[in-house]
Structure 1
C-alpha cells in the first residue's frame, strides 16, 4: 500500500508539458537508450517507464504551522502505512520529515488519509541530534522509514552529520532504539565528503546475495553531488558500489539527490531531484532489475512554476491508497519549502 507501486497508470494528455519533457529527455539521454515513444502524444500521457503523471493536490505541512520549528524549513518526507503493522497506531499513516539545518530532528505527523489532514506529533522530534551515548552531532535529518517485514519493525535510516548514515529501530514507529552506523564517507572512495539522504528498499539481488538496496547522495571534493548505491542481505551490514549509480554530468545537472526506487514490469527505476542552479525537477533512470542498466529517461515530474513548487520539486516519496498512487514531496526553494502532495492523473 505505501511502498513503491508497480502498476502503470495513464492519465489524460498534457501537451503543455510535452516540449519540456521531450527536450530534457533528449538532453539526459546521451549515450543511453531513450524511452520508447519519446516525443509522441501517447508518451506524454504518462511519465517515462509507464508511470503515472502526478498533479499537485495540496500542501500537507508548512513549517509555520508546526510547534517544533527550530529553523523555519522542513525537508525529505517519507510516508508509511501502519495498518496491520502497528497496533494502537495514532493514524493509518505516519509521515516522517525533518528540518535540514542544525539542530534538525526527525519528526512525525500522522493521519488517516494520504490526502490529509496530518497532525503533528506533540513530542517531536522523535530522534534528536544528541542521543547519548551513541552520538552528539550538529544535526540529524533526512528520515527514511522502511517497514522491515523480517523484524516486524519500522527501521529508520537518517543522517547526522552529512558524513554518516545511521539506523534506529521501532515497534510502534514513534519510540526508536539506536542500532548502528550503516554508511559513512570512510566506506567510499578517498575524497568523499558526504554520504547522506539515504533511502532503503526491499529489493532482491540474488547474484549479490542481497535482499535490500540503499540509494544515497554522494559528494566529494569536486562539490558536485551524485547518486550512489549499496546492497545488503539484512538491511544492517552493507556493501557499496565505489562508482556512482547516476552521475550529475550524465543528466546535465549541477547536483542530483533525493533518490527513490520504483519498480514496474520486471524492471527497477531510480527517480531523483536535480539542481540546475535554479530550481529543479524529478528525473528518472532505468537501472534494471539487477541494477545493470543506466538508461536516463528524462523528466519524471515537472515542477510547477507557481506555489508551492516555485520551480523546485525534490525528495519524492510514494504511497497508494484505495488503488490511487500518490507522491509526497519537498516543494519550494531549498531551505524554504514545505511538504506537498500530488495525485496520479486519472
Structure 2
C-alpha cells in the first residue's frame, strides 16, 4: 500500500483504512472511540505545552524527550497527583524525571528531587547518560516497571511500588541480542499484550540502528517482562514508509487488532505514522499519517515519541513537540 501524499486528505485516508471496533486501548487503558472519526482512530488536536526545559529546576542540557504518562489514582493510596508524567533529557547526563498533575491537560508540577534515576547507580552501572523512560503498570506484580536506556546500546529495567523510588532489576536488551552490525537498541516501550503462539504476555517495541545508520522499529516478546526473546528482523523498516529513520514506537490495540504508531524521520522533522501489525504481529499494513505535526509552535514541523492515556473517557496523546533536543512536551486531545 502506498503512503498517502501530504495534503488535507491524509486523515480521511486513515479513517477509511482503520479497522472498525468499539474501543481504543492506550497502554492497557480502554476508552470509547472518538465520535469525530466513527470506525477509525481519533483526530488529535494540539491542546497545550505541558513541560518546557527552561521552566524546570532540573535542566542540565536544555532539552527533554520521550514522555510517558500513567494514571496512578487507582493504584496508590496517597499519590502526588492523579497522573505521573515521566520524561528525561537525552544528552549527558540525562536522568529519568517525574512530574505530576491531576489532569492530562495539565498543569504538571516538577518533582523536586529529580532525577529519580541518574546515570550512575552503584554497583549496577555508570554510563554517560540515561534516558527514554517508559513506565508500565505491572498488574501481576502490582508495581511500576521502568524501562530506560543508557548507553544507547542497552535497555534496563527498574521496579517501584510507588512510582517514585525505584529498585534496579536487570538489563533486558542490548545490541548483542540483535544481528551483527547493530549499533543501537533504545527508546523501548513495553506493553501487556498476549501472544499465545509465542507463550508471551508482554511485547517490547524499540528503535534499532545498525551500521547503515537508518533506524527501524524492532520488537520482542516475554512471558514475564524480564526475560526477552527478540525478532532478528525489524517489525517496521524505515524503507517501508519512505523514511530516513523511524523511532519512538507505541502500541495501540483496537477491534481485536494491534497497531504501532511511531515518529518518522527522527531529527529532521516529520509526523507520527501508524502501521497495523495484527493481534499476532504477523500483519504489516502501513496506514499513513496518524498525527500531522503542525508547522507552528510548539511542533514546528516535528512530533515524536507519542504516549497515550485517557482522562474522563477522553483520549489524549502526550508527545515530543519541536526539533529534537530543542523541543518541549505537549499534549493533544482526541475527538
Query: Which residue does the alignment assign to 2:51?
Result: 61
CA 1:239–1:36: 2 relative to 1, 3 Å: closer
Query: Which residue does the alignment assign to 1:282?
Result: 272
Q: Secondary structure of the equivalent of 2:113?
A: coil
Which whole-Å CA distance do the structure 1 matches of 2:266 and 2:69 have between them?
27
- Which is worse superposed, 274-283 or 330-339? 274-283
2:214 is the counterpart of 1:214: no
Query: Which residue does the alignment assign to 2:155?
Result: 165
Match for residue 265 of structure 1 among 232, 255, 258: 255
- The gaps in structure 1 that reach 5 residues or longer are 1-15, 26-33, 38-44
Q: What's the CA shift for 1:88?
A: 1.4
CA 1:131–1:58: 2 relative to 1, 3 Å: same
Q: What's the CA shift for 1:214?
A: 0.1
Equivalenced residue count is: 313
Q: What's the CA shift for 1:18?
A: 2.6
Pairing 1:310-325 to 2, within 5 Å after superposition = 310-325=300-315
2:210 is the counterpart of 1:199: no
Cα RMSD over matched residues?
Answer: 1.8
Which whole-Å CA distance do the structure 1 matches of 2:12 and 2:82 have between them?
38
Q: What's the CA shift for 1:86?
A: 1.7
Any idea what the Cα deviations from partners look like across 1:109-136, whole Å, max 9, x if unmatched?
0001111110000000000000000000
Q: Secondary structure of the equivalent of 2:9?
A: helix
CA contact (8 A) 1:254 1:277 kept: no
- Find runs of 4+ consecutive structure 1 residues off by over 4 angstroms: 20-23
Which whole-Å CA distance do the structure 2 matches of 1:276 and 1:131 have between them?
29
Query: Which residue does the alignment assign to 1:132?
Result: 122
Which whole-Å CA distance do the structure 2 matches of 1:172 and 1:311 have between them?
37
Pairing 1:296-335 to 2, within 5 Å after superposition = 296-335=286-325
- The gaps in structure 2 that reach 5 residues or longer are 1-5, 20-35
Q: Secondary structure of the equivalent of 1:18?
A: coil
CA 1:57–1:143: 2 relative to 1, 3 Å: same
CA 1:202–1:257: 2 relative to 1, 3 Å: same
Q: What's the CA shift for 1:83?
A: 1.5
Give the TM-score taking structure 1 as reference length. 0.88
Which whole-Å CA distance do the structure 2 matches of 1:118 and 1:135 have between them?
30
2:64 is the counterpart of 1:74: yes
CA contact (8 A) 2:83 2:103 kept: yes
Q: Secondary structure of the equivalent of 1:249?
A: helix
